[in-house]
């Protein structure tokens, strides 16, 4: 008969001697592909089916909002791209859906409208002007590396686009979500505001991409986009350092923050800057 203390000692010894947790075959494959010496070695690590990516039915790499979805084939979702230097996203924009302003930190993009009218806009680095275009079905455009750009479906029915990238891990930096994810007082200062209330009020409305697009399109197509009714799960996580001020229940329930109401309700905002779970 073992004493409980001795039994505990055995258990601890057994646990510390046991091998690492069950390996993740998908992660192991990524490591093998990344470390393969040659492309021939990579091909031998993959099955034929691994060279196919189903954009229509993909579960991984999907960015979804009230205005549609974008499906990304990149090194993570489509490991056959490792070592190939290219990636692709297919966008399924609902009526008036907008792929909201964003940049790709590591790739230039060439976008093709498959079957409808899109508007697109691009702003590059300091000194470059705004480039504005309407793309009809069968037309394409280029978004230079690092530029802020968007595409919006101007049709009252869904439109599909295809975007190719000249790097296998292009990355996406969603402009509104990431900018408003900086410390609220820094955002306020950069916007020329004296307080953080308007920053916080706007931040909690930022809709998930793909979002509902321009008011003019929605009106023309008989659609409505009520303030605060789109999902907002893509906002920047809060840590000590970029935390939002605490807000009362009644203020957080309000879905219609505007700069006009912000000052009237600023008294509801606590000066304390402890991390808030309300946002
Ligand atoms: C950024 O752009 C503005 C306007 O083009 C220019 O005046 C400013 O000097 C630029 N800032 C930097 C750091 O290049
Ligand atoms: C420029 O943008 C506006 C607003 O999106 C659009 O209505 C207009 O058609 C665009 N101009 C061109 C030349 O595409
Ligand atoms: C474009 O293609 C999509 C997917 O097949 C379809 O749902 C949509 O209705 C098409 N849009 C137009 C404007 O033809």
Give the pLDDT confidence of 74-120 residue by residue, as tens digits: 999 999 999 999 999 999 999 999 999 999 999 999 999 999 999 99
As a whole-number percent, the residues of the chain with pLDDT over 90 amount to 76
SS3 221: coil
- The bound ligand whose nearest atom lies closest to the alpha carbon of 123 is 1
For residue 21, the model assigns a pLDDT of 65
Confidence of residue 23 (pLDDT cuts 50, 70, 90): confident
What is the arithmetic mean of pLDDT over 167-181?
98
Closest by Cα among 100, 92, 103, 104 to 209: 100
CB burial readout 115-130, b (16+ within 10 A) else e: ebebbbbbbbeeeeee
Beta strands in 84-158 (DSSP E): 87-93, 97-103, 109-113, 118-123, 131-135, 140-143, 148-153
| Distance in Å, CA 174 to ligand 1 centroid | 22
CB 216 near ligand 2, within 6 Å: no
Contact predicate 182/173, CB 8 Å? no
**What is the predicted pLDDT for the residue at 255?**
39
More confident residue, 50 or 258: 50
Q: Give the ligand with the smallest distance to the CA of 139.
A: 2
pLDDT value, residue 263: 35
Pocket of ligand 3 (CB under 6 A): 115-116, 155, 157-160
DSSP H helical ranges for 192-232? 197-203, 215-220
Give, using CA atoms, the residue closest to atom 5 of ligand 2. 119
The pLDDT of residue 254 is above 90: no
- Predicted confidence (pLDDT) at residue 274 exceeds the cutoff of 80: no
DSSP per-residue letters across 33-50: HHH-SSHHHHHHHS-GGG
Q: Residue 146, Cα to own-chain centre: how many angstroms?
A: 15
Q: Is the CB of 119 under 6 A from ligand 2?
A: yes
The answer to whether the predicted template modeling score (pTM) of the entire model surpasses 0.85 is no
Query: To which H or E segment does residue 20 belong?
Result: none
Flag the least confident range among 24-28, 31-35, 122-126, 137-141. Answer: 24-28
Ligand 3 center–CA 80 separation, angstroms: 29
Picking from 100, 116, 208, the residue whose alpha carbon sits closest to that of residue 154 is 116
């Amino acid at each position: 008969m073992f004493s409980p203390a001795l039994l505990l000692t055995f258990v601890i010894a057994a646990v510390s001697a046991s091998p690492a947790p069950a390996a993740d075959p998908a992660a192991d494959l990524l490591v093998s592909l990344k470390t393969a010496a040659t492309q021939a070695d990579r091909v031998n690590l993959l099955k034929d089916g691994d060279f196919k990516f189903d954009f229509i039915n993909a579960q991984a790499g999907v960015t979804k909002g009230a205005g549609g979805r974008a499906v990304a084939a990149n090194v993570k979702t489509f490991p056959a791209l490792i070592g190939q230097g290219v990636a692709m996203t297919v966008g399924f924009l609902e009526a008036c859906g907008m792929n909201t302003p964003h940049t790709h930190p590591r790739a230039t993009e060439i976008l093709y409208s498959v079957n409808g009218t899109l508007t697109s806009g691009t702003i590059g680095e300091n000194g470059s002007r705004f480039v504005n275009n309407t793309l009809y079905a069968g037309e394409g455009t280029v978004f230079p590396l690092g530029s802020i750009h968007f595409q919006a479906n101007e049709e009252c029915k869904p439109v599909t686009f295809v975007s190719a990238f000249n790097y296998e891990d292009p990355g996406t930096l969603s402009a509104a979500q990431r900018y408003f994810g900086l410390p609220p007082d820094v955002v306020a200062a950069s916007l020329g505001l004296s307080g953080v209330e308007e920053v916080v009020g706007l931040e909690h409305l930022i809709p998930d991409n793909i979002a509902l697009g321009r008011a003019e399109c929605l009106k023309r197509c008989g659609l409505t986009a009520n303030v605060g009714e789109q999902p907002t799960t893509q906002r920047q996580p809060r840590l000590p350092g970029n935390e939002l001020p605490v807000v009362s229940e009644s203020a957080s329930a309000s879905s219609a923050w505007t700069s006009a109401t912000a000052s009237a309700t600023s008294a509801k905002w606590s000066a304390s800057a402890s991390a808030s779970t309300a946002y």
